[in-house]
Amino acid sequence: MTMSTRNFIVYLVSCSCLAILSALFLIHNNQKPSFSLLSSSSNSNRYGSGTDRIWPELEPSWKLVLATVIGFFGSACGTVGGVGGGGIFVPMLNLLLGFDTKSAAALSKCMIMGASASSVWYNLRVAHPTKQVPILDYDLALLFQPMLMLGITVGVTLSVVFPFWLITVLIIILFIGTSLRSFFKGIEMWRVETLLKKETAEQAALVNSNGEFKAVLVDTKFEPLIPKEQKSTMQILCFNLRWKRILVLLSIWFSFLLIQIIKTHVEDCSVWYWVLFGLQFPIAFLVFGFEAVKLYKDHRMRMGTGSLEYICEASIEWSATSLAFCAMSGIVGGIVGGLLGSGGGFILGPLLLEIGVIPLGTQFVPFSICLHMFLSGSQKNSGLCKFHYTTQYTLNRHYSRNCVNQCYQLQITENSDLCKFRYTITVASATATFVMMFSSSLSVFEFYILKRFPMPYALYLITVSVLAGFWGQFFVRKLVAFLGRASVIVFILSGVIFASALTMGIVGTEKSIEMIHNHEFMGFLGFCST
């Protein structure tokens, strides 16, 4: 874990603890809560109360047109970045169309499910750009899905207990932090891409056997000696599907859904209610633990073989620290999804960037750039990647973690003294969207059983999101290929998260001020008493 990652975690933990302590302070310095809070005047028709159900009729109007446009572009950008877009959908449905808060959150889940499902369908028809592996990382999906679903369950429970202003503050802290981290990641990628374009367009430095530099022109195009086998769309689709892994994911999904259905028929706060609630923890930790041990052992075994293909490929260093970080982030992402009505991608997308998995793209890099990065002075022996630069002898260097996190992969040509690096940006957004499809669909099925959203609006918004998810993937991939900059996806990710922080912050602040003016209780609420 890098120093910047540690600083980011310290920022989130310290700010969140300060906000929660403020809520605890208000409990002892404010009035006792009254049950009229759920139907108080502050929860006006604009926001909807905890019990009032506000479902506008689905009829043509300028508000519906504007909501369709916002929903389309929000779904398109959200699925491309792997964040879903729940932070945009909830304020739109609440403020623009007039739904109450709970119904808006339920419809937001419907939109996330539709967009993520169409995005997954699009991704399944695309081959991996560099390797004979599925475009979806099923190991990451199995690692994150149980923790994300567990976090969503905890988040829904906390949404009953946490005061509204505290949820708003935590969302602002989290979203601003993750959006800034993603933005700086995008800047870092942009600088590397600019360096690549400059070097490949002009010349590259070749290191001869005496260690001297010699300027040569570099042909940036690489043609393999053996032509790549062309596959049909159906062949790619079948290859990307791993049915055993999918069945495991579906088993987890059905387990959580069954528990949620049974909970609806059990009295709140009864013994059986808490037994069912606690049953979700061993299921989630069992699946996560099995997958974590598998990834850790595979990583150690492959590193022990000294395989150059593995060491220099765009892979993640699965240490105990990184696995614990993934578990924590998955739960936090789910909690945010439960509190907000999003799919948890606001945490999962930036997390995949943090651990070294970056959106899709491929580029060939001359050796001089890698040497330049190594000699720049900032490189330490903290990375994994070793490179060979001539056929006469081998120079092993440890790459910096920045280089590893940019996902460099070696491509050596036996008949050339010039070693080119293949810059492989892997499948973060595809995997994040795949996981979100499972988590959001679970919530949609639960909301359908509880009759928490109107079907006409749900079907209409799902249709809009399905179209947006498919065409968003199509156009953004074309844009990335045209510009040669995969950092565009990271900037979209950062922009969607920041826009969500802005909209949720404005709505939450306005409602919190209204609650203060009405002298309402601002501390924690009792779960069973509410």
Alpha-carbon gap, residue 337 to 150, rounded angstroms:
11
Backbone dihedral region for residue 325 (phi beyond 0: left; psi -120 to 50: alpha; all else: beta): alpha
N-to-C CA span, the chain: 41
Most confident of 89-93, 278-282, 502-506: 278-282
Identify any residues that bridge with 214 across adjacent strands, giving them in sequence order. 206
65 against 310, higher pLDDT: 65
- Annotated domain spans of the chain: 3-170+239-308+317-341+433-517
Q: Name the band, by pLDDT with cuts 50, 70 and 90, for residue 359.
A: very low
H helices within 51-163, ranges in order?
Answer: 62-81, 86-91, 101-124, 138-161
Structure tokens at 528: 């069973």
CB 105 within 8 A of CB 341: yes
Strand 213-216 versus strand 204-207 pairing type: antiparallel
Mean pLDDT of 184-201: 74
Q: What predicted TM-score, i.e. pTM, was given to this entire model?
A: 0.68
Kindly tell me if the per-residue pLDDT of 288 is higher than 50. yes
Mean pLDDT of 314-337: 75
Q: Name the band, by pLDDT with cuts 50, 70 and 90, for residue 463.
A: very high
Alpha-carbon gap, residue 366 to 389, rounded angstroms:
10
Alpha-carbon gap, residue 382 to 387, rounded angstroms:
15
Nearest to 330 by CA among 138, 65, 122, 141: 141
Average pLDDT, the chain: 69
* Residue 107 confidence (pLDDT): 86
Structure tokens at 35: 């049950």
**Which residues have CB under 8 Å from 21's CB, separation 6+?**
none
The model's pLDDT over 100-138, given as tens digits with 9 standing for 90+, comes to: 777 887 888 888 888 888 888 888 887 766 567 777 778
CB 367 within 8 A of CB 418: yes
* Residue 128 confidence (pLDDT): 66
Edge to edge, the sheet with strand 361-366 lists 361-366, 420-425, 408-411
218 against 327, higher pLDDT: 327
Among 69-78, 207-216, 391-400, the minimum mean pLDDT is found in 391-400
Helix (H, G, I), strand (E, B) or coil at 447: helix
* Residue 42 confidence (pLDDT): 38
Q: Name the band, by pLDDT with cuts 50, 70 and 90, for residue 459.
A: very high
Helix (H) / strand (E) element for 507: namely helix 487-517
Identify any residues that bridge with 215 across adjacent strands, giving them in sequence order. 205
Kindly tell me if the per-residue pLDDT of 11 is higher than 50. yes
- CB atoms closer than 10 angstroms to residue 239: 16
Nearest to 314 by CA among 368, 363, 378, 249: 363
